[in-house]
Every structure is written in C-alpha cells, then in structure tokens.
Structure 1
Amino acid sequence: MRKARPLIALAVALAAAGWLLTAVGSAPSTPPSATPAAATASPPAPVVFSATLPDGAEYTPLFYAGATTSVGTALTPDGSADRLILRDRGGDRELRRAPRDRYAQFLGFTAADGTLYWAESAADPDGTYETRLWRAPLDGSSPPASLTADTGAAVFFDSEYDLVVADGRLHWVAAPPDDGARTELRSVALTGGRVTTASFEGRFRHTAWPWLLSVDDQAPLVLANPQTGERRTVTRAAAETVVCTPVWCRSMVQLGDRHIYDVLHPDGTARRRVPGDLTAVTIDNALAGRYEIFTEAQGATVRLVAYDIDAGVIRLLGTDIGVTTARAGVVWWADRPANPTAWKSLDLR
C-alpha cells in the first residue's frame, strides 16, 4: 500500500506551498468595453432536498452530478464515523464510511458517463495518510471500486478540474517529490491499474481539458497545452487576480472593501465589467462555458446571481442565501449558514 503525503486541500495551504495565484499592484488601465444591464427576472425554481437524513443526521453536499443527484457527508447517528452519501430522487445510498479518528477527507468529485469519481484521504494508525481514488456508478448498480492509491502528493484546489475524465483515463496533478518548480501530471485508467506520471515544467492545475493554468505567483499567468506544447501568456494588469479557461478569464481587483470583476478573453480582448458589489463563489470561472457565479449583499439579505457571459446580463438565481458553492454547471446553496433546514440546487447546463 502506497503512503502519500496528506492532500493539500485548502487555498491557505496552497499559498504556503507557492501553489496559489496572487497579484499585487495598480488597477488595470484598460476600461471595460461595455457595462451590461442587470436582469431583475424572478429566479427559476430550484430543486429542494432536506438538510437532514431520515436517520436524523445533518447532510452537507459536496458535489452535484445534476440538480437532483448529489454526494456529500454525514456522521453516523452515534457520531463514530464519517459517511459519504449519494442522494437522488430514489433515496440515499452510503458509498463509504470511515471512523472519525481517521480524519477522512472526500475531495475532487467529478462525474462522467453515469459514473462518479472522487479522492479519499485518511490517516492510518501510524499517522501517515493514504490518498486513494474511487469510482461508483450513479445508479447504484454496483458497489464503489478503488482505482489506485498511487496518487503522489496530489494537489486539490476545490475546482471542478481537480479530477478530469478524458481519453479513457482519470487525470490529476501532484506536487513533485522535491521543491522543484514542476508539476506531476498523473492519470489512471477508468477501470484502475498502473498510474502514468509525466513531469511538466512549472506549477500548474487543470482547467478545461487538455489545458493547464499556472499557479506560480512569481511568474506570468500561463495557459499550457501539454499535448501540443503550446503556451499562452494571459494578458493581465499587475493588480488583477485572474483565473482562466482557454476561452474566458475572470479578473478581480480589490478596491478597499469592494471587489471589481471583469470578464475577458485570455489575450485581453472583449473585456467587460460585471456590475454590482459582488463576491465570486468559486475558484472556477465560466461555468458550463458561460456563467460567472456571485453572491451580492443587499442589506441583511444575500442574493445569488449568475453573470451570463453570452447574453451580458445578471440573472437572479436565489435570495436569502446562507452558504453556497458551484461546480461544473450546478449551483447549490443552503437557506442559512448554520444548521440549515434545506439544500437547493440549479443545473445551469
């Protein structure tokens, strides 16, 4: 059994390791090309699930494969173990269970062709951590299966691209075994087996396949295609924090206690200001190739909105938001930040 270093799961840990995008300096000098009007239409009706399981345990969703299918965590009723639960209209199914003293983390969820994939990191009795990749059919037709524990020093950014299904394989990135400015590109067959590893110059994370996005704050922001060797330097001002796919970028500049957001192409063209006093919900940009997801405080309430890049308008998704996140085209939120009664979801795809 391979023992791996613990997963780097949080942005603060990544910053300490030099794996987080940051930017300082002056505000961008290029003004936005247009300021779109905000839409005020009533939000669509979300799918609603109770935040409490039938056994009384509080359920926290971590990923939605669709608006009606989620996977998340809940304690056992006696509090002795963490459970990974798959929920859909057909009921609840337990996928995995780990004693609480193993401090299990479930990360990197993605779904493709009716199958759910994820990473599980847990402590062994000797204090070392094992990180293992799993798969399970969404319809419950067979039990979960382990793909590999040969994951290296896997790095997770709380992104929809932490695990990528492409070309018949499951892909992820890992830090090198030394302090070199390199990235390990790792993959395993969707049925499991031997892991392939390639060393790639620079520190990168996955974005829209097959592209990588650099995460080295001491160098220019770069999009790289490891299949062709092409590298593109993203156009950005010194003050901007920017995340990109090969098609769209989201720029953020902090001015006092406000965040100013633009969308633009990686070459700097088609720059547009996103109106409002907003806060981005996720590290990912251009969800489903089209949407930027934000929260917006209005007095004592918080609205959930989506900026539609194609239409150039703000679309209202929900009001009185507690906590929210988004992944791979699905947005979900709770009705209050602590002890929620319900989870709501919308599939923007």
Structure 2
Amino acid sequence: MVVGLGVALAAGAALLFGSPAQSGEPQPLPLAAAWPNAARGNIPSKLPDGSEFSPALFLDARTAIGTAQSADSATLRLVIRDGDGKLLELRNVPAEHRAPFAALTSSGNELFWVESISGKQQLWSADRRDPRTARMLTADVGAMQFYDSEHDLIVADGRVRWVSSGVGDETEFRSVAVTGGAVTVTREKGTWGLAAWPFAVDGQTSARGATTLRNLSTGVTVAVPSADRSVTACSAVWCQLVSINQDGYSRIELSHPDGSARRKVIEGNVATAITDVAVLDRFEVLAKTTAQSDLTGNQQLLVHDLSNRQLILVSPDAGNISYRAGVLWWSTGDQSSFVRNSLDLRTV
C-alpha cells in the first residue's frame, strides 16, 4: 500500500523540526462547541469474545465493518458491528492469510471489498443484511494498487472501478458490473489513482505528487497547481499543496485544480492526517504534534472547515486516524487499552 506523499512529507517535517511558536494562527474551537449536533460514537477495541476488532469502514457513527480473529484464532472474520454491539459475520478465511480484506466500500445496502488469498486478489460483494449473498464478482483484477484512499474502490454507474499497475510506466483502469461479469480495461501512461468518479489524478508515486487531473469520461485534463519544494495531491474539487516554509515548518495550502481560490489552511508543526484531500469537498483533516506526542505517540486531531475557515479541535490526543465515506475515526488511550471514537462529518 502506498501512503500519500503529502502526508509523509508533512509528518516528516513535524518530527524533524519540533514544535514552533506560531503567531497569528487560528485557535481551534472545541468539537462540542463548533458542531454540537454532529453524530458521534465510540466502540471498544475488543469484541465480547476478547478478539481485537479493526474497523475498515463506518456506515454511520455507530456501525462499523472490520476484521477480527475468531475466538480460537483459526480464522479471520469480516464482521459488521452495530451500535448495540451486535455482530454479523459476512466472511471468514483461514488466519494464515494476513490482512485478507481490503478496500471496503458500500453502495446502498451492498458492500464491496477485495480479498487476498494465497497472494491472489479477488473482488467480492454482499448485501450487508444477509451474509448468504456474499459472492466473488471477479478474480480478473490485475495487480491492484491501493493508496489508502476512500477512492481505491469506487462504485459508479452500475460498475465497480479500481486501478491496477500495467506494463512499465502504465496504469490500467479496470471495472466490472456490480453483478459480476467481464472486466473492462483501459490503459494510460503514468501512475494514476482514482478520485471521485469520473476523475483520476496522476503522480501517485512521484516525489512531487500530482501534475494532472483527468476526466475519464470526457478525456479533458487540467494541469493542477504546483510549487517549488512542495507536494501536490488532488481530489476532483480541491488540490492540496504541502511545503516547508522558510523557517522549516509545514505549510498546507488548498486551491481548486485550476488554481483558483488558493488559500493557506495552516502553518506550523502540522501534517495532513489522511490521504484524501478536503473530504466531502469541505473538510481538511490535520494532525498536530504536541509536547505530549513523544510520550504518547498520539497527536491533536484537527479539522479545517472550508465553508467558514474555522479550525476545529476534534481530539487533543488521537492515534490511528482514519477516514472513509464521510466518517472520521481515531483511537484514544494506549496500546494496552484504547477506544475507537468516530465522527460522522455528513451530520455537521
């Protein structure tokens, strides 16, 4: 799996240069004051049988889909855990297959995911209400590439879509009907990843990040903003530029792909906390290293709201920050005892 380059650059800068004293930076508002009606939740790290539960997708603030070992450690299970703690097992595979479930996404009641068994990838789906509907859609997936993005697997226009690496410097755009069948493949030079359909962005493994946003339906391309000593990442609506300022601290800016509406988001001992840029076309998710971070390994979890340019303190001490499909989640506590907390940004 390839980690977003902007995330890596900014995080490295934060670790290297320590905590600066920044003047004039906005002070974050507490979550409860800024968004009092937002849907929130928390779930224990363990299931009732004592096995660790690792969420991969939240359907809402209290309902998560993830993986857990069986009580006898013989199998790895893909389970849905609802707000009342009830479990529904969708799939299980022998525990010898490490991390077999990936790229979970949903469309209505239908779930889609990738299974990796004995080094071979397959695309699966199921109605989340009925495990008996679980079925393999195709094993003709190519060498699938995941960039820790909510767009690694997309459902659009009745098809499931993903990218695979092709021959040499080439990306394959692949898709299959949600009911299964023949896989269609188109090829493009460069290393591309999907954004919100029908857009794709290049530069997934480049040190400079993205240079081009392309509409895969029309073929129209846009040269996205870039700058010296910066890394660019883009969604279909916003581009993020992460750079190091003259004092050696991180500077995060956003603009539209055509370069318009450019603005500074934040500057200092900060990093982008997730791969995806300006999720829901509104929220930039950030992490700030504090004096306690060296002790706990956790960071402040912040969200910049593009609609009003407010900075929100979601958690003062967050670890394992993740996001998918409108829901942000993170852990609080230490490795021996922690809780996963969630915030449904769609309810803000």
C-alpha spacing 1:257/1:74, structure 2 compared with 1 (3 Å): farther
Q: Offset at 1:218?
A: 7.8
Which deviates the most, 81-90 or 283-292?
81-90
Q: Could you say which residue in structure 2 is the equivalent of 1:169?
A: 159
Task: Work out whether 1:295 is the aligned partner of 2:290.
Answer: no
C-alpha spacing 1:130/1:330, structure 2 compared with 1 (3 Å): same
| Superposition RMSD in Å | 2.6
Q: Could you say which residue in structure 2 is the equivalent of 1:268?
A: 259
Q: Could you say which residue in structure 2 is the equivalent of 1:100?
A: 95
Which deviates the most, 151-160 or 297-306?
297-306
Task: Work out whether 1:65 is the aligned partner of 2:59.
Answer: yes
The runs of 5 or more residues in structure 2 that have no matched partner are 11-23, 294-298
TM-score, with normalisation over the residues of structure 2?
Answer: 0.83
CA–CA separation in structure 2 for the residues paired with 1:155 and 1:333: 25
SS at match of 2:133: coil
Q: Would the aligned equivalents of 2:90 and 2:131 in 1 still touch at CA under 8 Å? A: no
Task: Work out whether 1:238 is the aligned partner of 2:213.
Answer: no
CA–CA separation in structure 1 for the residues paired with 2:148 and 2:320: 16
Q: Could you say which residue in structure 1 is the equivalent of 2:75?
A: 81
CA–CA separation in structure 2 for the residues paired with 1:159 and 1:337: 26
Q: Give the counterpart of 2:127 among 116, 119, 137.
A: 137
Task: Work out whether 1:155 is the aligned partner of 2:149.
Answer: no
Task: Work out whether 1:199 is the aligned partner of 2:187.
Answer: yes
Q: Give the counterpart of 1:280 among 234, 258, 272.
A: 272
Q: Could you say which residue in structure 2 is the equivalent of 1:37?
A: 26
Task: Work out whether 1:316 is the aligned partner of 2:313.
Answer: yes
Kindly report which structure 2 residues correspond to 1:111-126, keeping only aligned pairs within 5 A, or say none: 111-123=106-118
CA–CA separation in structure 2 for the residues paired with 1:257 and 1:37: 20
C-alpha spacing 1:258/1:191, structure 2 compared with 1 (3 Å): same
Q: Residue type of the partner of 2:261?
A: A
C-alpha spacing 1:337/1:196, structure 2 compared with 1 (3 Å): farther
Q: Would the aligned equivalents of 2:170 and 2:188 in 1 still touch at CA under 8 Å? A: yes
Q: Residue type of the partner of 2:223?
A: T
Task: Work out whether 1:217 is the aligned partner of 2:206.
Answer: yes
C-alpha spacing 1:22/1:38, structure 2 compared with 1 (3 Å): closer
Q: Could you say which residue in structure 1 is the equivalent of 2:340?
A: 343
Q: Residue type of the partner of 2:280?
A: A
Q: Give the counterpart of 1:50 among 44, 47, 56.
A: 44
| Same amino acid, percent of matched pairs | 33
Q: Offset at 1:103?
A: 2.6
Q: Would the aligned equivalents of 2:225 and 2:232 in 1 still touch at CA under 8 Å? A: no
Q: Would the aligned equivalents of 1:323 and 1:337 in 2 still touch at CA under 8 Å? A: no
CA–CA separation in structure 1 for the residues paired with 2:179 and 2:2: 29
Q: Would the aligned equivalents of 2:41 and 2:62 in 1 still touch at CA under 8 Å? A: yes
**Could you report, residue by residue, the CA deviation over 1:222-269 in whole angstroms, capped at 9, with x for unpaired residues?**
001121111111121021111112321111113577322111112222
TM-score, with normalisation over the residues of structure 1?
Answer: 0.83
Which deviates the most, 318-327 or 157-166?
318-327
CA–CA separation in structure 1 for the residues paired with 2:207 and 2:240: 19
Q: Could you say which residue in structure 2 is the equivalent of 1:110?
A: 105
CA–CA separation in structure 1 for the residues paired with 2:319 and 2:68: 19
The runs of 5 or more residues in structure 1 that have no matched partner are 1-8, 24-34, 124-128
Q: Could you say which residue in structure 2 is the equivalent of 1:247?
A: 237
**Could you report, residue by residue, the CA deviation over 1:171-228 in whole angstroms, capped at 9, with x for unpaired residues?**
001111x21x221111111111111111223321100110100025288610011211
Q: Give the counterpart of 2:216 among 226, 250, 268.
A: 226
Q: Would the aligned equivalents of 2:153 and 2:162 in 1 still touch at CA under 8 Å? A: yes
CA–CA separation in structure 2 for the residues paired with 1:135 and 1:273: 41
* Over 4 Å off, 4+ runs: 20-23
Pick the structure with more helix per residue: 2
Q: Residue type of the partner of 1:53?
A: L
Q: Could you say which residue in structure 2 is the equivalent of 1:328?
A: 325
C-alpha spacing 1:273/1:143, structure 2 compared with 1 (3 Å): same
Q: Would the aligned equivalents of 2:202 and 2:212 in 1 still touch at CA under 8 Å? A: yes
CA–CA separation in structure 2 for the residues paired with 1:268 and 1:289: 16
C-alpha spacing 1:194/1:42, structure 2 compared with 1 (3 Å): closer
CA–CA separation in structure 1 for the residues paired with 2:222 and 2:55: 36
